């Protein structure tokens, strides 16, 4: 999302269309990821960035040149590049003696940094080691998270949310069951240790009396397809395989987190269901009021009291005056002379 106050007014129709495409919307577009290469990188970091770009296609944009980036000290360059290429997520690869094989994942909201995690690669098996690596490009995988800390601590819950945004793929209306080909399994073994295992979801026909070793467990019931075929579903280990070490983190404040998850009022109005109200054929709006038991209405006297009980409105002004007058014979009975004067006035008229 681009901050519109920092952008000059467009002078061409093409510029207007670009700004309209980047303007805030009720339903946002798919999040694009910006991949940045630091001033110093290792072979492991470079291979990881290449594999990540292959998995994230087409929702990825990569800077071809190296940049001296220190995200935990200055985020101005990263925010500028993300706003320029309309990316709401970024991945930075760096390498140094103090922090070897360093990867930084982060998200932006309203053109500013929302959260950021720094992970170190301890073990990496690249995508090129997989025999059938071409099937994973541009696919929508199944995400699986294991570990109690993902639902306990705030930083791990935020990390889970970031990983979902990073690897969930494009948004689709329907999912074809047989089209889900890969599973991304994130395992939180300890507080600062994260593992990623990729497995391929394969299917094989139900083979009876076979002497060859079966890739699946024959004791598991097969899956019946709409065509009537019986298929066994099983998992095969694939690549990449990564072991991460959790290092520095940057979490958002509560106000910024609430603003990032705020639902627009237009969407809330559309999802709101009107209860006990309907419009008849003549266009009149009719409502239904639940008053409770009928025995309670019998104790109410007719007039303002029952109207207050049914509608919830208070008494009107003259009703409050009438109910507030106390009838006392000693203090409120007028003199005979005053009564006679009033009678004379009325008789003269």
Among residues 252, 270, 288, the one where a domain terminates is 270
Question: Which uninterrupted H or E stretch holds 143?
Answer: strand 142-146
User: pLDDT tens across 229-253, in order?
Assistant: 778 888 888 889 999 999 999 999 9
Same domain, residue pair 265 and 305: no
Between 286 and 294, name the one with better pLDDT: 286
Confirm whether 214 is domain-assigned: no
Claim to verify: residue 243 and residue 339 sit in the same structural domain: no
The answer to whether residues 249 and 335 belong to one domain is no
Q: Is residue 2 part of a domain?
A: no
Shared domain check, 324 and 233: no
Residues 229 and 338 in one domain: no
Q: Are residues 125 and 199 in the same domain?
A: yes
**For 165-184, b where at least 16 C-beta lie within 10 A, e where not — what string?**
ebbbeeeeeeeeeeeebbbb
Mean pLDDT of 126-140: 70
Residue in the block written with tokens 């009719």? 286
Q: Is residue 287 part of a domain?
A: no
Domain contains 240 = yes
* 254 and 328 share one domain: no
Q: Are residues 192 and 317 in the same domain?
A: no
Whether the CB-CB separation of 206 and 252 falls below 8 Å is answered with no
Residues 307, 226 share a domain: no
Q: Is residue 5 part of a domain?
A: no
Rounded Cα distance, 77 and 40, in Å: 17
Contacts of 178 by beta carbon, 8 Å cutoff, 6+ apart: 203, 225
What was the pLDDT predicted at 314?
Answer: 58
- The pLDDT assigned to 349 comes to 46
Q: CATH code at 200?
A: 3.40.50.10480
**CB-side neighbour CA atoms (13 Å) of 167:** 23
Residue 11 belongs to some domain of the structure: no
Task: Report the alpha-carbon distance of residue 251 to residue 72 in Å, rounded.
Answer: 12
Residues 344 and 257 in one domain: no
Same domain, 106 and 251: yes
Residues paired with residue 116 on neighbouring β-strands, in sequence order: 106, 250
Indicate the SS3 state at residue 254. Answer: helix
Residue 47: count of CB within 10 angstroms of its CB: 19
Note the pLDDT tens digit of each residue in 14-48.
988 888 887 878 778 889 999 999 999 999 999 99
Write down the mean pLDDT value for the chain. 80
Q: What is the pLDDT of residue 284?
A: 80
Domain that holds residue 138: 23-170+177-208+221-270
Indicate the number of domains in the chain: 2
The DSSP string of 53-98 is HHHHTTSEEEEEEEE---TTT--HHHHHHHHHTT-SEEEEEE--SS
**pLDDT tens column, 172-218:** 888 777 778 889 999 999 999 999 999 988 887 766 555 556 667 77
Burial class (CB in 10 A: 0-12, 13-18, 19+), 282: exposed
**Is residue 339 located within the same domain as residue 237?**
no
């Amino acid at each position: 999302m681009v901050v519109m106050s920092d952008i000059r007014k467009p002078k061409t129709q093409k510029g207007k269309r670009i700004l309209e495409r980047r303007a805030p919307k009720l339903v946002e577009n798919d999040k694009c990821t910006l991949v940045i290469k630091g001033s110093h990188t290792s072979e492991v970091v470079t291979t990881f960035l290449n594999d990540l770009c292959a998995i994230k296609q087409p929702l990825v944009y990569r800077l071809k040149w190296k940049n001296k980036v220190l995200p935990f000290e200055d985020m101005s360059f990263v925010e500028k590049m993300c706003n320029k290429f309309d990316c709401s997520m970024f991945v930075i690869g760096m390498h140094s003696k103090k922090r070897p094989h360093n990867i930084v994942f982060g998200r932006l909201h309203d053109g500013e940094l929302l959260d950021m995690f720094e992970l170190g690669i301890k073990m990496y098996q690249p995508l090129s080691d997989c025999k059938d690596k071409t099937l994973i490009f541009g696919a929508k995988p199944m995400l699986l998270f294991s570990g109690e800390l993902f639902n306990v601590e705030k930083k791990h819950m935020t990390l889970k949310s970031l990983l979902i945004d990073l690897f969930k793929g494009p948004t689709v209306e329907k999912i074809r069951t047989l089209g889900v080909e890969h599973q991304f399994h994130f395992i939180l073994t300890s507080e600062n240790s994260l593992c990623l295992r990729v497995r391929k979801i394969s299917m094989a026909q139900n083979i009876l009396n076979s002497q060859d070793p079966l890739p699946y467990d024959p004791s598991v019931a097969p899956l019946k397809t709409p065509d009537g075929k019986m298929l066994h579903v099983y998992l095969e280990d694939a690549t990449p395989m990564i072991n991460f070490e959790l290092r520095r983190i940057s979490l958002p404040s509560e106000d910024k987190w609430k603003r990032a998850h705020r639902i627009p009022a237009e969407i809330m109005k559309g999802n709101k269901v009107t209860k006990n109200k309907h419009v008849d054929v003549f266009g009149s709006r009719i409502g239904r009021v639940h008053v409770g038991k009928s025995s309670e209405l019998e104790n109410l006297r007719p007039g303002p009291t029952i109207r207050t009980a049914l509608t919830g409105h208070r008494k009107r002004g003259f009703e409050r005056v009438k109910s507030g007058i106390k009838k006392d014979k000693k203090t409120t009975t007028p003199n005979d002379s005053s009564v006679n004067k009033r009678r004379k006035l009325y008789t003269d008229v």
